Structure 1
Amino acid sequence: MYDAIVIGAGPAGLQAALTLGRMHRTALLLDSGEYRNGTVEHMHNIIASDGTPPAEFRATARAQLAEYSTVEARDARVERIEGVVDDFTLELEGGSTVRGRRIVLASGVADDLPGVPGLAGLWGLRAFTCPFCDGHEFAGRDIGILGAAARTVHLVAMLSPIVRSITVFALDEQPTDEDRAALEAAGADIHSGLVRSVAAEADGARVTTTAAHVAVAGLFVAAGTVRQRASFAADRGLRMLPSGAIEIDDFGQTSEPGILAAGDLAHRASLPGPVASVIQAAAAGQMAAARIVQEFASS
């Protein structure tokens, strides 16, 4: 039986496994091969790794974990979690099982994009959601934002100091006069038509609307939603937050003893939502692993 089983091998899971390994606790890291930034070519806003391809980041982390004799990594998908604290059983794809005293959920979230033809093919390459991660790359250029949603005004305000111009493209209906005034005050132009499709064009993107074809350097999406990538939280009846994330305490503990969560699938109730950040995810993974180590040390 492992001291801890970490489900998910993004930044949160990798860091949790590393922390457990450094404290000589037996840990199994399970990697489904699915990542929120799987289509992204380069990560940004990560000190000492700014511009690193995510696949390279993960490969380096896996190589470093291999140096710790108490850590094992497997490419495997978890189907279900059974049992209770100190004796969990996880069924893996294919029917095999593994057992652990603690579980760290780090399987992350998935983005549900607006149903715009062509958008999925641009996601992570020329269409993004996080200005901290991808805004700087469009410095001094013209960009578009898909969706006149609630967060669009805030997104415009964050991107305005970086880019040359911002055009907001409505998806289903034009914004109200009040929303239009707020968007224009924040520094955006509102396109007159509704979006029909998007596509790659030269080193940017082309937005086809009911009124015209518009070329932009890149796109940010304001109208998408996120969901838990796996059903573990629902299956276990974990306490959830209005954001759709798992509720945790400062150390990653969920509402069920023995199950912790780290990364963008969870956050504290004091925050409005999870932070889509590699550094924040890794920090959460470290805290969850530290909680486990402390529990064993005090038992």
Structure 2
Amino acid sequence: MKHDVIVIGGSYSGMAAALQLLRARRRVLVIDAGRRRNRMAAHSHGFLAQDGADPAQIARTAREQLMAYPTLEWREGEAVQAAGERDDFRVRLRDGSEHRARRLLLATGVSDQLPAIEGLAERWGTAVFHCPYCHGYELNQGRIGVIAVTPMSIHQAQLLPEWGTTTFLLNGAIELDHDAENDLRARGVTIEATPIARLDGHADVVLADGRRLRFAGLFTAPRNAPATPVAQGLGCALMDTPMGTQLQTADSKETTVPGVFACGDVARMPHSVSLAVGDGAWAGAQLHRSLVFPGA
């Protein structure tokens, strides 16, 4: 059977897009590898009517609601390749099965390229974060550390004093010019140039000289890239952003390949659950329009 749409990625943006299409009574296949980007976090914040909720429960509830629509098919598995053209795309899963659709929607999310610091990956999403709007309030104005990765980290260090007393840990990753240093100090930011040896405890930073700095939480700005190579295999163009690379899309959320749309973290910045849901809803509606008005 040829579906109207295959959605690759069954997290927040993919489900939000699928909902619009299902409500238009379109045949939708969602392929989900089950690796939500925020799977390590216990609470989701900043999402209206769901503030503080378990992000896994938000996803479960959303899927349950989608399953009530009879034109939905849900497959748990990993899409490894996609090919074809507008009105005739083929998607192959790792299990060898192949599925066809008139349109594709890429909601694959991104991978986070974390700083190579001992103990950081284990604390990602629980004591080390990237979004202050998602996690800053819960630190209760405690001490905050910002671990430098790229020049984008300067902006992060400028912003974080809104949530607590901030220390900018350069860790040899960047050098501050005179203007940036003066700006940070004017905001009350402490600048720490000694390299980081490891993270310990809840959010303790052990420096190379043996000093231990205790924080309520840490922030860093990892580089992002599409979580899978499916889009590149289709020929979708990428674009550079201050956070890494993402898929290039038009206002309609269509990529540079006709008939292939993209939404969520893989196609917009900055990133949060609420922004992903909004982006997915818009992408789903615009994709539906491309089916109704194919010449537009």
Would you say same fold, with TM above 0.5? yes
Q: Which residue of 2 aligns with 1:284?
A: 279
Q: Which residue of 2 aligns with 1:153?
A: 154
The equivalent position to 2:291 in structure 1, one of 278, 296, 299, is: 296
RMSD: 1.6
Q: Which residue of 1 aligns with 2:172?
A: 172
Deviation track 1:177-211 (CA, whole Å, cap 9, x = no partner) reads 62433321232102252101002x2xx31101023
Q: Which residue of 1 aligns with 2:94?
A: 93
> Distance between the aligned counterparts of 2:186 and 2:140, measured in 1?
20
**Tell me, which stretches of 5 or more residues in structure 1 are unaligned?**
268-273
Amino acid at match of 1:88: F
Quote the offset at 1:236 in angstroms.
1.7
Q: Relative to structure 2, which stretch is displaced further, 25-34 or 285-294? A: 285-294
How many pairs are equivalent? 288
> Distance between the aligned counterparts of 2:173 and 2:286, measured in 1?
48
Aligned residues: percent identity?
A: 33
Q: Which portions of structure 1, spanning 4 or more consecutive aligned residues, are displaced by more than 4 angstroms?
A: none
**Tell me, which stretches of 5 or more residues in structure 2 are unaligned?**
none
Please state if 1:219 is matched with 2:214. no
Amino acid at match of 2:225: R
Q: Which residue of 2 aligns with 1:28?
A: 29
The equivalent position to 2:227 in structure 1, one of 203, 226, 229, is: 229
Measured at CA, do residues 173 and 151 of structure 1 come closer, stay the same or move farther in structure 2, by a change above 3 Å?
A: closer
Quote the offset at 1:176 in angstroms.
4.0
Q: Relative to structure 2, which stretch is displaced further, 109-118 or 190-199? A: 190-199
> Distance between the aligned counterparts of 1:214 and 1:136, measured in 2?
21
What TM-score do the two structures reach when normalised by structure 1? 0.92
Q: Is the 8 A contact 1:173 1:194 kept in 2?
A: no
> Distance between the aligned counterparts of 1:170 and 1:142, measured in 2?
16
Quote the offset at 1:174 in angstroms.
7.4
Amino acid at match of 2:212: H
List aligned pairs for 1:1-299, cutoff 5 A: 1-147=2-148, 149-163=150-164, 165-172=165-172, 175-176=175-176, 178=178, 179-199=180-200, 201=201, 204-211=202-209, 212-222=211-221, 224-243=222-241, 244-267=245-268, 274-299=269-294
Measured at CA, do residues 286 and 148 of structure 1 come closer, stay the same or move farther in structure 2, by a change above 3 Å?
A: closer
What TM-score do the two structures reach when normalised by structure 2? 0.92
Q: Which residue of 2 aligns with 1:271?
A: none
